A and B are shown apart, each in its own frame.
Chain A
């Protein structure tokens, strides 16, 4: 499909179509200016920035701990990994080692966040392609995850649940049982979703060979996360640069082979199962001990710049912090938003496809505009 003939067959006037920002399938306020020949996409130009809140500017004004709530609002469907990225970077800058129990709680929260993000992705992706039922199944399970978050930290979406040096709270009574009950059931629910979609002929026809991107091209375009793994590159920050205690956990990185929408779908389905596996191991091995390291009341940074990244549900989520000597706020904090960089590949992926494929490709890139626009 890619690289197909893009010259119009006849001498026709191309139609310009503004797809979004108020469109149900652009997952927020993305706008794509399309040039169409009939339904065929000759050119697509993403226009972003409708949700720009100047988060990076705000970071510069907040003391280090107060930056964490801002990170919640980046990828707001998986706030835990955003928090994790920031605190991991801060700990690298300050040289803090966190207690193992805190690391395990972080991993549990982050993986729950990853599952819930993938559930939202699957729900919206399926509904974009016309299958409405998975949406409700997915949100049923997501609800349980949000309940777990609520029981832990009181918030359901913007969690603000990690601190530089650990996590703010001990797990409440019964939380481990509740979580472990959910995690034991969860793979069966994934089977349920797969039953609806994986073998479905229409689903396959809508996704196989759509939005293909080769491994070389994916690396060239800077794709990370499932879009990169769908193309067959076995690369996951949790394995490559293990943070927290991911190096103690046994899990696999699912990869695809064709780099199309269907492979990315399969990769994410497998990732949900792997996340459940990670949580299972974390719950079984959850060490005892404090949940906060001994950190100064006021965090003062050494001079220097650090970059650390975590594997967010959308891809590599990195924070780059430039610190001044004895500074209490970041001098500059840059976020590497995976969705922003993944979205850049959209025009190449949809060229020559039909309008209906555009929603499939937007869905498969799994973008969150909060993170793109910042």
Chain B
């Protein structure tokens, strides 16, 4: 009785709590990072009042949002209105249950045997992440609809169309990776890159591009931030939300960025693997623990997200659809054929 109890209940719960805490903290500091990075791109300083150099700003923001009055518009559909923030936040967090950010480790001998630090490794992990992140769109649609506000409604509708059309090329881009890795398990994908001595972004450079563009669109970030477009829809689907409910939408956006960046790292940049493992004079890089490598790669993607935001104007709705259907889908299909032929030729 004792051993299964520990193995199936205690250890997972500890892992879940730790991962949840870390993810939420990272997400909170992503907002800080975004404000700082944008500030430096825009010749200003960014938040610098709360704590040393502003480092306590996210905490203060969190406290403020907790203390805010929670407004529900009089004519809103109350149950759905309350449900929507949860429907967008929960799937975003759920995705982290299968994201392998480091290999099995015994924590420098603290544990009796090596144990994976991520919650679980299921053999359909990639499918699971795609599926679960699609649920997030319901949160946006329902949030927009239940607010009883025309701007929110339009934001919700835009988001629905956008997510549906960008999930297709994203799926095709991912299939290209699957062809190379021959597994849906995220751990296996990393191990396949290790075995091949080749990170998949080299053969899958096109897939990476398509995946990341779609990822930006899926997370409603600039230049695809039409569902919330401040200057057109006045924040779109979350116009009517305040306090923690608004914070949920906000955090979910950053969590989704983290998910998309993590997946990109795992699928194309070898996850936790160190670069150049076979180059002798770079072997000192092995000292750095795998989880740091993972974090650094994810951070690069996150930075690109913020860079986009500082640089690009916003697409118009029909142009966004055009980019998705007329460019990305044909491209991703062509890429699928090329990668397929390539895999056949190499592996026989």
Binding site for B on A (CB under 8 A): 15, 17, 23-25, 39, 126-133, 135-137, 140, 196-197, 200, 202-203, 205-206, 354-359
Taking the nearest CB of chain A, how far is it from the CB of B157, in angstroms?
Answer: 8
Taking the nearest CB of chain A, how far is it from the CB of B227, in angstroms?
Answer: 12
User: Which one of B38, B223, B231, B317 has the greatest number of beta carbons of chain A within 10 Å?
Assistant: B231
Taking CB atoms, residues of chain B closer than 8 Å to A15 are: 150
Interface residue from B41, B42, B313, B316 paired with A200 (Cβ < 8 Å)? B313
Taking CB atoms, residues of chain A closer than 8 Å to B150 are: 15, 17
Taking the nearest CB of chain A, how far is it from the CB of B322, in angstroms?
Answer: 9
A202 touches B232 (CB 8 A): no
B313 touches A203 (CB 8 A): yes
Interface residues of B in 273-331 (CB under 8 A from A): 309-319
Name 13 A/B residue pairs within 8 A (Cβ), A-sorted: A23-B234, A24-B230, A39-B317, A129-B313, A136-B44, A202-B312, A202-B314, A205-B319, A206-B316, A354-B316, A355-B154, A356-B232, A357-B316
Q: A130-B223, A132-B42, A136-B42 are in contact. Are A25 and B231 (CB under 8 A)?
A: yes
A356 touches B309 (CB 8 A): no
B313 touches A130 (CB 8 A): yes
CA distance A140 to B151 in the complex (A): 32
Q: B205-248 interface mask toward A, CB cutoff 8 Å, 1 = contact, 0 = none? A: 00000000000000000110110011111100000000000000
CA distance A356 to B222 in the complex (A): 15
CA distance A131 to B231 in the complex (A): 10
Assess whether B111 is interfacial by the CB under 8 Å rule.
Answer: no
B316 touches A205 (CB 8 A): yes
Taking CB atoms, residues of chain B closer than 8 Å to A128 are: 231-232
Known: A137-B43, A202-B223. 18 other contacts (CB 8 A): A24-B234, A25-B231, A39-B154, A129-B231, A130-B312, A130-B314, A131-B313, A136-B42, A196-B311, A197-B313, A202-B312, A203-B313, A205-B315, A206-B316, A354-B317, A356-B314, A357-B316, A359-B232
Q: A24-B231, A202-B223 are in contact. Are A133 and B316 (CB under 8 A)?
A: no
Nearest opposing residue in chain B for A15, CB measure:
B150
CA distance A17 to B309 in the complex (A): 28
Taking the nearest CB of chain B, how far is it from the CB of A368, in angstroms?
Answer: 17
A356 touches B42 (CB 8 A): no
Taking CB atoms, residues of chain B closer than 8 Å to A140 are: 43
B154 touches A131 (CB 8 A): no
Nearest opposing residue in chain B for A38, CB measure:
B157
Counting contact residues on chain B (CB < 8 A from A), the size range is: 20 to 34
Contacts between chains A and B (CB distance < 8 A), count? 80
CA distance A24 to B314 in the complex (A): 16
Taking the nearest CB of chain A, how far is it from the CB of B306, in angstroms?
Answer: 11
Nearest opposing residue in chain A for B315, CB measure:
A202
Taking CB atoms, residues of chain A closer than 8 Å to B41 are: 133
Taking the nearest CB of chain B, how far is it from the CB of A70, in angstroms?
Answer: 31
Taking the nearest CB of chain B, how far is it from the CB of A4, in angstroms?
Answer: 13
Nearest opposing residue in chain A for B314, CB measure:
A130
CA distance A130 to B151 in the complex (A): 17
B313 touches A137 (CB 8 A): no
CA distance A25 to B233 in the complex (A): 10
Taking CB atoms, residues of chain A closer than 8 Å to B225 are: 130
Q: A39-B154, A132-B42, A137-B43 are in contact. Are A359 and B231 (CB under 8 A)?
A: yes
Taking CB atoms, residues of chain A closer than 8 Å to B315 are: 130, 202, 205-206
Taking CB atoms, residues of chain A closer than 8 Å to B316 are: 205-206, 354, 356-357
Q: B144-166 interface mask toward A, CB cutoff 8 Å, 1 = contact, 0 = none? A: 00000011001000000000000
Q: A206-B316, A356-B316 are in contact. Are A133 and B44 (CB under 8 A)?
A: no
CA distance A131 to B225 in the complex (A): 11
CA distance A265 to B311 in the complex (A): 18
Taking CB atoms, residues of chain B closer than 8 Å to A202 are: 223, 312-315
CA distance A173 to B232 in the complex (A): 46
Taking the nearest CB of chain B, how far is it from the CB of A264, in angstroms?
Answer: 16
A25 touches B311 (CB 8 A): no
Taking CB atoms, residues of chain A closer than 8 Å to B44 are: 136
Nearest opposing residue in chain B for A26, CB measure:
B231
Taking CB atoms, residues of chain B closer than 8 Å to A358 are: 232
Taking the nearest CB of chain B, how far is it from the CB of A314, in angstroms?
Answer: 20
Q: A17-B150, A356-B229, A359-B232 are in contact. Are A126 and B313 (CB under 8 A)?
A: yes
A127 touches B317 (CB 8 A): no
Taking CB atoms, residues of chain A closer than 8 Å to B319 are: 205-206
CA distance A172 to B295 in the complex (A): 57
Taking the nearest CB of chain B, how far is it from the CB of A41, in angstroms?
Answer: 12
A200 touches B312 (CB 8 A): yes
Taking CB atoms, residues of chain B closer than 8 Å to A136 are: 42-44
Taking CB atoms, residues of chain B closer than 8 Å to A130 are: 222-223, 225, 229, 231, 312-315
Taking CB atoms, residues of chain A closer than 8 Å to B310 are: 132-133
Q: A132-B42, A140-B43 are in contact. Are A206 and B231 (CB under 8 A)?
A: no
CA distance A57 to B1 in the complex (A): 90
Taking CB atoms, residues of chain A closer than 8 Å to B43 are: 136-137, 140
CA distance A200 to B226 in the complex (A): 18
Taking the nearest CB of chain A, how far is it from the CB of B130, in angstroms?
Answer: 27
CA distance A126 to B313 in the complex (A): 7
Taking the nearest CB of chain A, how far is it from the CB of B232, in angstroms?
Answer: 5
List of 8 A-B pairs having minimum Cβ-Cβ separation, nearest first: A130-B314, A136-B42, A131-B313, A25-B231, A128-B231, A129-B313, A130-B313, A356-B316
CA distance A357 to B315 in the complex (A): 11
CA distance A15 to B151 in the complex (A): 11
B154 touches A137 (CB 8 A): no
CA distance A83 to B38 in the complex (A): 38
Nearest opposing residue in chain B for A197, CB measure:
B313
Taking CB atoms, residues of chain B closer than 8 Å to A135 are: 42
CA distance A355 to B153 in the complex (A): 14
CA distance A15 to B150 in the complex (A): 9
Taking CB atoms, residues of chain B closer than 8 Å to A197 are: 313
Taking CB atoms, residues of chain A closer than 8 Å to B314 are: 129-131, 202, 206, 356
